[in-house]
Structure 1
Amino acid sequence: MPTRLLIHGANGRMGRAVRRIAVTDERFAIAGVVSRSTPEVRVIDGIPFFAANELSGVPEFDVCIDFSLPEAFDGILAECAKRGAALVSGTTGLSDAQRATLDAASAKIPLIWASNFSLGVALLHQLVEVAATRLPGWDCDIVESHHVHKKDAPSGTALTLGEAAKQGGADPHYASLRAGDIVGEHLVQFSGQGERIELIHRANDRDIFARGALHAAAWLHGRPPGHYRVADTLG
């Protein structure tokens, strides 16, 4: 049986990409989509649409993919916990209190939160931690580049890469570039005496993040409660 999927934050850039790809993915049946405002049309191609304040009325679902805003996050997390449904969330800008609530919910449901659902970036996290561990005392610099409309800097992905570097004992420094229509590029550089190592990930298509979230949702369905990482899905 296909996994029943709820898409939360469906009118955003990522939500639209997830829905477009999911309708052709035989692993999933879209149970419904949720957007911030009341939809003008309630059913499109057999898929029911709901407003964020109508969560209690959405059909049963196995996994929710959430790319929304911090102010909408509490509601969908609570709904997943109430129904025992898994949650895959890429909503950034969460407060410390929201992160604590997320951790608490992982005792009841399986969930993955990530600032970036690229499988390549998930592997990059692991490589950065290994490099930091094996190269004590080397300088660590993280340079991220994105399109001119991206507001936060450093990016969430750069900060999580920095956390991976810290786990290995490095002290990362950050730099940000905003130019053109760059989808996303992250360079992690380790510099020693007379040599450097550069680890780079370039995203050329935003669909990679939607495909990664769907990969995570398929992997998460049926798992026991816990707070998993995208890296866990790599096998």
Structure 2
Amino acid sequence: MGREVLSAARERGDEVVLAVSRSGRGEFDGVEIEPASEFGALLEAREPEAAIDFTVPEASVDYVDACAEAGVPAVVGTTGFDDADLAALRDASARIPILKAANFARGVQGLLEVVRAAVEALPGYDVEVTETHHNGKRDAPSGTANRVLDAIDEAREAQRASERSSGQSPRDDAPRVHGREGEAPRESGEIGVHARRAGDITGEHEVLLADNHEELRLTHRAESRGVFAAGALDAADWIAGRAPGWYDFSDVLADSST
């Protein structure tokens, strides 16, 4: 993703004032890659308008902390954070603006909105979520799949609120089931979650809703990692100069649609 961001920045004419890697020095597409150990000093010396991070959770927390020390806004595309890592990022957002997103594809934001609407429109339908990525992806389910699951939970909570307000007894939903093995009959209200890893697949997410002798499939497929890089650069442009706080990619798209 670092290479994708550098290539996309060159194509759109954005200036890259520094790039670092935990692998040490190098060069890519005319940009000098410097050691990650020098990141804090480079921020202070070159004063970028924003930093973009696509790494791993432990590195991402360190990079964001350095950004907070230097007063540089941060765009975070890393996924797989645990609660402690997220708390550290939240703490840093009191000092600088941080935009964290599991996915920077505009189509995924559309998918989230459609999923919420479909789940609300089809109460009681079985729901299954499947995500597919390249064989080197570390976290499962993907960060995007977790956002999709959150959208489903939000829609179901809206359903329950509506049922309560109308005097009905809201239905209880079963927990999420990650894969199935052996004797595993489906419980009413459960959400099946499936992660597949193969080849060099960029990313695919599908939500299946089925009941009443019919099925509805909602799918987003990324054809290139460049779509994520372009979205991250849009986010960096947007967050530069913002007040400290916690932002999402949906904030960027909301601004661009007005």
Q: So what's the TM-score if we normalise by structure 1?
A: 0.84
CA 1:145–1:61: 2 relative to 1, 3 Å:
same
Offset at residue 40 of structure 1 (A):
4.9
2:70 to 72, 78, 83: 83
Of all paired residues, the percent bearing the same amino acid is 41
CA 1:105–1:198: 2 relative to 1, 3 Å:
same
Aligned to 2:239: 220
Aligned to 1:10: none
Q: Does 1:52 align with 2:20?
A: no
Aligned to 2:112: 125
Aligned to 2:221: 202
Q: Which has the larger radius of gyration?
A: 2
Residue identity matched to 1:54: E
Offset at residue 171 of structure 1 (A):
4.7
Offset at residue 87 of structure 1 (A):
0.8
Offset at residue 205 of structure 1 (A):
1.1
1:160 to 144, 147, 169: 147
* SS of residue in 2 equivalent to 1:91: coil
Aligned to 1:73: 60
Aligned to 1:173: 192
> Partners of 2:138 and 2:244 in 1: how far apart?
34
CA 1:77–1:180: 2 relative to 1, 3 Å:
closer
Give the superposed CA RMSD. Answer: 2.1
- How many residues matched? 219
Offset at residue 220 of structure 1 (A):
1.5
1:139-172 residue CA offsets vs partner (Å, 9 max, x unmatched): 1111112233434432222122111111111753
1:150-200 residue CA offsets vs partner (Å, 9 max, x unmatched): 344322221221111111117532123334432211111122322322211
Offset at residue 217 of structure 1 (A):
1.1
CA 1:38–1:182: 2 relative to 1, 3 Å:
closer
Structure 2: runs of 5+ lacking an equivalent: 157-188
CA 1:174–1:34: 2 relative to 1, 3 Å:
same
